[in-house]
C-alpha cells in the first residue's frame, strides 16, 4: 500500500520531522558531555581516598601476574597546580582588574575602552600553546637557565588568565549604575576612592568569580605545562624549578598508558572537572545576583 | 546608558579640589593595567617573530610551502601540519555546525519553556571542560570505537572516494581529532546561534506564520536568514577555537608527520606538532622552527578571531540589538 498525502499534510509532517531532528541534535550534543562526566565520576571516583590526595605519584606500572602496582596519589601535582595557578593570579589579577577599571571608569564609551576590550577579546583567542611558546621565546632571550620552570609556566598561565579576568571584571563593573557614581561624587568623594570603595566593592562578587573562573581555566591548561613545566619528579621546590601538575599528569599518563598512572589521571580529571564546572555555575549565579541587586537582572 | 558615566565629563575634576594626586596616581596605575593587556597582545607577536628569526632569516616564507619536516637534515616545512590543521578544523565544523544550529533552533523554538535555560546552560558546560580531558576521554572512549567500527565501515562504504584509504585499525587519526574538535566547538556556535535567533524580531516570525508557514518553514525562511550574520560569526569563532586546540588533538590524531592522504590516517596539526616535538627538540634550528610554527598558528588564529569579532560587531549593529 502506498500512502498518499496532500501537499499541506506533507509539509506538516516534514516540519514535525525536522522538529524531532532538532531535538535529536540536542541529545547528540549532550551525549559527549554526559559520557565525559560519567567516565570521570566512575573511574576518577574509584581512586579517591586519603592517600590519593597526599601520596606521591608512583612508579609507572601496569598489573602483571606477580606484580603488584603501587596505587600512590597525586599530592605533589595538586600542590604544584595550586602554586603555579596562584603565581599566575598574582600577575594577571592586578593587571586585568586595573585594565577593567580603566576601561569602564576612564574609557567609557570612547574608542580607547573599545580598543582595550578588543585587545582582551583577541588575546583570549590566542591558543594556549602559542602563549606557551611566547613565554618560552621571551624567557629564552633573557634568562635561558630558567626557561623550564614553574615561573615560566606561571607566566604563560598569566597570559591565559589575563583576558578572562579583564572581561569578566569589566562586565561586573558595568553592572554598577552611574547613579551610584554620581551619588558618591556629589558627596565630595574623590574619583579614585569612588572607583575603589564604591564601584569596585559593589562589583566585587562579580570580579571575584571572574578571577575564580580564570583560575579554574588555568588549572586545566596542560599545553603550556607541556612546554615549560614538564618532566618534574617532585612537587614545588622553588619557582626556578619545574613542578608536577594535574593537567599535565593527565596528558603524560594518557600517552604512557600505565594502568596505575591512568587511574590517577582520572582522579585528577575528576578534581579539575569539579573545580571548573563548580566555578562556572557559581559565577553564573553570582553575576545574575549582582545584576539583579543593581536592578538590571533578569 | 542614557545619562552616561559621570566620570567621563571632563569638567568634574576642575570643580573639585580634593585629592588630585590620588586621582592621578589611580589613573596611571589602572592605565598601566590597560597598557599591559594591549602590550601583552603586541608582545606575543613581536617575541615570537624574534624567536623565530634564525629560521626566518634562513628560509623566509618557503617554510610555509615546504612539505618536509626533517630536523635531522635541517629541513623544516610546515605545509603538512598547516594542511592537517585546516582539514581537522574544517571537518570539525562540518559536523558541529548542523548540530549546533539544530540545537539552537530546538532551544529557541521547540523545547518547552521551562527546559530551555537549563539545557542551554548544560550545553555551555562543554566549553568549561579542560581540553586535555577531552583528549583523554577521546583516547579512552572514541578511539577504540573508531578502530573497531567506524574506520572499517568508512573504508568499506566510502573507500571508492579514495579519501578513506590506508589501514583501518588505527583509532587515532584525522577524523577522530575532527570529532573531538567538533564536540569542543559546539558550545560556542550554539550560544551565538541561539542569541542571534532570539534577536530575530517577533514580527518576522509572525508574518511567516500568518502566511501559513509550518514551524520548519518559519525557521528555514524567516528565522535563519535573519539570524545568519550572528550564526556565521559564531562559526568563525568556533573555527578560531578549533584551529589552535592542542591537547585534545595531540592525544587523538596519531601524530604522523606526512602530508595527510586519508581521513582515517594519522596526521598532525601545527599545535600538535609543537606539543609533540618541543620538549625533545635537540637540533640547532628545531626550536626556532617550532617558534616559527607557533607564529604561523598565531597569525592564522588572530586573523580568524578578528574576522569573527568584525562579523559579530557588524551583525549587532545591523540588528540594533545586544547579542553576546
Determine whether the interchain pair B123/A130 forms a contact, defined as Cβ–Cβ distance below 8 Å.
Answer: no
Q: What is the DSSP letter of A295?
A: T
A71-99 average pLDDT score? 92
Best residue in A122, A188, A268 for a mutation probing chain B (most B CBs within 10 Å): A122
Residue B15 belongs to some domain of the structure: no
Question: Are A79 and B172 in contact, with CB atoms under 8 Å apart?
Answer: no
Lowest model confidence (mean pLDDT) among A195-204, A222-231, A264-273, B41-50 = A195-204
The whole-number pLDDT of residue B20 equals 76
**Would you call B69 an interface residue with chain A, using a CB distance cutoff of 8 Å?**
no
Residue A182 belongs to some domain of the structure: yes
**CB nearest to B246's CB, from A115, A129, A178:** A129
**Would you call B137 an interface residue with chain A, using a CB distance cutoff of 8 Å?**
yes
Smallest Cα distance from A11 to chain B, Å:
7
The whole-number pLDDT of residue B7 equals 67
Q: Specify the 3-state DSSP secondary structure of B78.
A: coil
Question: Are A42 and B244 in contact, with CB atoms under 8 Å apart?
Answer: no
Residue B281 belongs to some domain of the structure: yes
Q: What are phi and psi of B211, to 5 degrees?
A: -85, 0
Q: For position B243, which CATH number holds?
A: 1.10.3720.10
Residue of higher predicted confidence among A293 and A24 = A24
**CB nearest to B5's CB, from A98, A119, A178:** A178
Q: Specify the 3-state DSSP secondary structure of A64.
A: strand
B161-186 average pLDDT score? 89
Determine whether the interchain pair B100/A136 forms a contact, defined as Cβ–Cβ distance below 8 Å.
Answer: no
| Partners of residue A189 in chain B, C-beta under 8 Å | 18
Residue numbers of the domain that contains B250: 63-319
Q: Percentage of residues in chain B with pLDDT exceeding 90?
A: 51
Q: Which residue has the cell 632569516?
A: B57
The whole-number pLDDT of residue A52 equals 84
| Partners of residue B5 in chain A, C-beta under 8 Å | 104-105, 108, 178, 181
The whole-number pLDDT of residue A295 equals 64
Whether residue B4 has pLDDT greater than 70:
no
The winner for highest mean pLDDT among A131-140, A174-183, B148-157 is A131-140
The whole-number pLDDT of residue A179 equals 87
Best residue in B48, B128, B242 for a mutation probing chain A (most A CBs within 10 Å): B128
**CB nearest to A178's CB, from B3, B102, B309:** B3
Residue numbers of the domain that contains A152: 75-293
Residue A110 belongs to some domain of the structure: yes
The whole-number pLDDT of residue A297 equals 46
Best residue in A26, A156, A181, A203 for a mutation probing chain B (most B CBs within 10 Å): A26
Count the alpha carbons within 13 Å of A60 in the hemisphere toward its beta carbon.
11
**Which residue on chain B is closest to A231 by alpha carbon?**
B279
Residue B41 belongs to some domain of the structure: no
The whole-number pLDDT of residue B244 equals 92
| Partners of residue B102 in chain A, C-beta under 8 Å | 21-22, 24-26
The whole-number pLDDT of residue B19 equals 58
Element (H or E) spanning B76, and its range? Answer: strand B75-76
Determine whether the interchain pair B216/A231 forms a contact, defined as Cβ–Cβ distance below 8 Å.
Answer: no
Question: Are B181 and B249 in contact, with CB atoms under 8 Å apart?
Answer: yes
Residue A107 belongs to some domain of the structure: yes
**CB nearest to B12's CB, from A103, A162, A185:** A185
Residue A128 belongs to some domain of the structure: yes
Average pLDDT value for chain B = 88
**Which residue on chain A is closest to B5 by alpha carbon?**
A178
Dump pLDDT digits (tens) for B151-167. Answer: 888 888 888 887 887 78
Q: How many of the other CB atoms lie within 10 Å of CB of B141?
A: 14
Residue B32 belongs to some domain of the structure: no
Whether residue B2 has pLDDT greater than 50:
no
If one counts the domains in chain A, the total is 1
Determine whether the interchain pair A29/B274 forms a contact, defined as Cβ–Cβ distance below 8 Å.
Answer: no
Smallest Cα distance from B150 to chain A, Å:
17
Confidence of residue A108 (pLDDT cuts 50, 70, 90): low
Dump pLDDT digits (tens) for B248-297. Answer: 999 999 888 877 888 888 999 999 999 999 988 888 889 999 999 999 99
Determine whether the interchain pair A280/B128 forms a contact, defined as Cβ–Cβ distance below 8 Å.
Answer: yes
Supply B44's cell numbers: 606575543
| Partners of residue B26 in chain A, C-beta under 8 Å | 191-192, 195-196
Q: How many of the other CB atoms lie within 10 Å of CB of A52?
A: 21
Confidence of residue B137 (pLDDT cuts 50, 70, 90): very high
A:B CB pairs within 8 Å:
317
Residues near A121 by beta carbon (within 8 Å), at least 6 away in sequence: A163, A167, B305, B309
A131-157 average pLDDT score? 93
Confidence of residue A298 (pLDDT cuts 50, 70, 90): very low
Residue B300 belongs to some domain of the structure: yes
Residue B314 belongs to some domain of the structure: yes
If one counts the domains in chain B, the total is 1
Lowest model confidence (mean pLDDT) among A237-251, A267-281, B11-25, B248-262 = B11-25
Dump pLDDT digits (tens) for B12-52. Answer: 444 455 557 888 888 888 889 999 999 999 999 999 999 99
| Partners of residue A127 in chain B, C-beta under 8 Å | 243-246, 271, 297-298, 301
Best residue in A32, A184, A220, A269 for a mutation probing chain B (most B CBs within 10 Å): A32
Supply B72's cell numbers: 635531522
Determine whether the interchain pair A280/B12 forms a contact, defined as Cβ–Cβ distance below 8 Å.
Answer: no
Smallest Cα distance from B324 to chain A, Å:
12
Q: Rounded to two decimals, what is the model's pTM?
A: 0.90
Dump pLDDT digits (tens) for B192-232. Answer: 999 999 989 889 899 999 998 888 999 988 999 989 989 99
Residue A12 belongs to some domain of the structure: no
**CB nearest to B47's CB, from A100, A121, A138:** A138
Confidence of residue A1 (pLDDT cuts 50, 70, 90): low
B173-193 average pLDDT score? 94
Q: For position A91, which CATH number holds?
A: 1.10.3720.10
Residue A266 belongs to some domain of the structure: yes
Element (H or E) spanning A115, and its range? Answer: helix A111-124
**CB nearest to A101's CB, from B30, B240, B245:** B30
Residue B275 belongs to some domain of the structure: yes
**Would you call B29 an interface residue with chain A, using a CB distance cutoff of 8 Å?**
yes
Residues near B83 by beta carbon (within 8 Å), at least 6 away in sequence: B259, B260
Determine whether the interchain pair B275/A226 forms a contact, defined as Cβ–Cβ distance below 8 Å.
Answer: yes
Residue B85 belongs to some domain of the structure: yes
A152-165 average pLDDT score? 95
Q: Which residue has the cell 550554539?
A: B190
Whether residue B324 has pLDDT greater than 70:
no
**Would you call B183 an interface residue with chain A, using a CB distance cutoff of 8 Å?**
yes
Segment 33-52 of chain B within 8 Å of chain A by CB: 33-34, 36-38, 40-41, 43-44, 47-48, 50-52
Residue A244 belongs to some domain of the structure: yes
Q: What is the rounded CA–CA span in Å between residue A248 and residue A219? A: 10
The whole-number pLDDT of residue A88 equals 96
Confidence of residue B102 (pLDDT cuts 50, 70, 90): very high
Residue A281 belongs to some domain of the structure: yes
Q: Specify the 3-state DSSP secondary structure of A69.
A: coil
Average pLDDT value for chain A = 88
Amino acid at each position: 500500500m502506498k500512502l498518499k498525502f496532500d501537499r499541506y499534510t506533507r509539509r506538516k509532517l516534514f516540519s514535525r520531522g525536522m522538529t524531532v531532528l532538532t531535538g535529536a541534535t540536542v541529545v547528540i550534543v549532550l551525549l559527549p558531555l554526559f559520557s565525559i562526566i560519567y567516565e570521570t565520576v566512575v573511574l576518577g571516583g574509584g581512586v579517591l581516598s586519603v592517600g590519593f590526595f597526599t601520596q606521591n605519584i608512583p612508579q609507572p606500572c601496569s598489573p602483571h601476574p606477580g606484580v603488584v602496582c603501587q596505587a600512590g596519589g597525586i599530592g605533589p601535582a595538586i600542590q604544584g597546580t595550586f602554586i603555579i595557578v596562584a603565581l599566575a593570579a598574582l600577575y594577571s589579577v592586578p593587571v586585568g582588574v586595573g585594565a577593567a577599571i580603566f576601561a569602564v571608569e576612564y574609557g567609557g564609551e570612547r574608542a580607547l575602552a573599545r580598543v582595550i576590550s578588543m585587545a582582551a577579546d583577541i588575546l583570549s583567542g590566542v591558543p594556549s600553546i602559542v602563549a606557551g611558546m611566547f613565554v618560552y621565546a621571551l624567557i629564552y632571550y633573557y634568562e635561558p637557565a630558567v626557561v623550564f620552570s614553574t615561573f615560566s609556566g606561571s607566566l604563560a598561565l598569566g597570559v591565559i588568565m589575563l583576558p578572562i579576568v579583564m572581561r569578566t571584571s569589566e562586565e561586573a563593573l558595568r553592572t554598577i549604575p552611574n547613579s551610584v557614581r554620581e551619588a558618591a561624587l556629589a558627596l565630595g568623594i574623590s574619583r579614585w576612592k569612588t572607583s575603589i570603595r564604591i564601584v569596585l566593592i559593589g562589583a566585587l562578587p562579580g570580579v571575584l568569580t571572574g578571577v575564580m573562573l580564570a583560575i579554574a581555566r588555568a588549572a586545566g591548561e596542560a599545553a603550556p605545562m607541556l612546554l615549560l613545566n614538564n618532566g618534574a619528579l617532585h612537587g614545588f621546590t622553588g619557582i626556578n624549578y619545574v613542578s608536577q601538575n594535574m593537567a599535565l599528569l593527565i596528558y603524560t599518563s594518557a600517552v604512557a598508558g600505565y594502568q596505575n598512572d591512568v587511574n590517577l589521571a582520572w582522579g585528577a580529571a575528576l578534581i579539575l572537572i569539579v573545580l571548573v564546572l563548580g566555578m562556572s555555575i557559581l559565577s553564573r549565579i553570582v553575576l545574575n545576583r549582582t545584576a539583579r541587586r543593581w536592578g538590571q537582572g533578569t | 546608558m542614557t545619562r552616561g558615566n559621570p566620570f567621563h565629563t571632563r569638567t568634574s575634576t576642575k570643580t573639585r579640589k580634593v585629592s588630585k594626586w590620588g586621582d592621578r596616581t589611580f589613573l596611571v596605575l589602572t592605565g598601566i593595567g590597560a597598557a599591559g593587556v594591549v602590550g601583552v597582545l603586541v608582545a606575543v607577536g613581536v617575541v615570537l617573530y624574534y624567536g623565530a628569526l634564525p629560521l626566518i632569516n634562513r628560509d623566509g616564507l618557503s617554510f610555509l610551502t615546504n612539505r618536509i619536516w626533517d630536523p635531522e637534515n635541517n629541513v623544516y616545512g610546515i605545509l603538512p601540519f598547516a594542511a592537517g590543521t585546516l582539514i581537522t578544523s574544517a571537518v570539525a565544523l562540518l559536523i558541529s555546525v548542523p548540530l549546533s544550529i539544530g540545537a539552537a533552533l530546538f532551544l529557541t523554538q521547540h523545547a518547552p519553556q521551562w527546559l530551555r535555560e537549563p539545557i542551554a546552560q548544560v550545553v555551555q558546560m562543554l566549553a568549561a571542560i579542560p581540553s586535555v580531558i577531552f583528549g583523554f576521554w577521546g583516547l579512552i572512549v572514541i578511539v577504540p570505537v573508531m578502530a573497531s567500527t567506524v574506520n572499517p565501515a568508512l573504508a568499506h562504504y566510502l573507500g571508492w572516494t579514495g579519501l578513506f584509504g590506508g589501514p583501518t585499525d588505527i583509532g587515532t587519526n584525522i577524523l577522530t581529532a575532527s570529532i573531538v574538535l567538533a564536540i569542543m566547538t559546539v558550545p560556542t556556535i550554539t550560544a551565538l546561534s541561539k542569541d542571534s535567533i532570539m534577536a530575530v524580531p517577533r514580527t518576522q516570525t509572525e508574518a511567516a506564520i500568518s502566511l501559513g508557514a509550518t514551524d520548519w518553514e518559519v525557521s528555514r525562511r524567516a528565522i535563519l536568514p535573519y539570524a545568519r550574520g550572528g550564526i556565521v560569526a559564531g562559526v568563525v569563532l568556533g573555527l578560531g577555537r578549533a584551529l589552535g586546540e592542542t591537547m585534545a588533538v595531540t592525544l587523538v590524531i596519531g601524530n604522523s608527520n606526512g602530508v595527510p592522504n586519508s581521513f582515517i590516517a594519522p596526521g598532525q596539526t601545527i599545535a600538535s606538532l609543537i606539543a609533540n616535538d618541543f620538549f625533545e627538540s635537540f637540533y640547532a634550528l628545531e626550536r626556532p622552527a617550532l617558534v616559527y610554527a607557533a607564529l604561523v598558528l598565531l597569525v592564522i588564529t588572530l586573523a580568524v578571531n578578528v574576522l569573527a569579532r568584525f562579523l559579530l560587531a557588524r551583525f549587532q549593529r545591523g540588528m540594533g540589538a545586544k547579542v553576546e
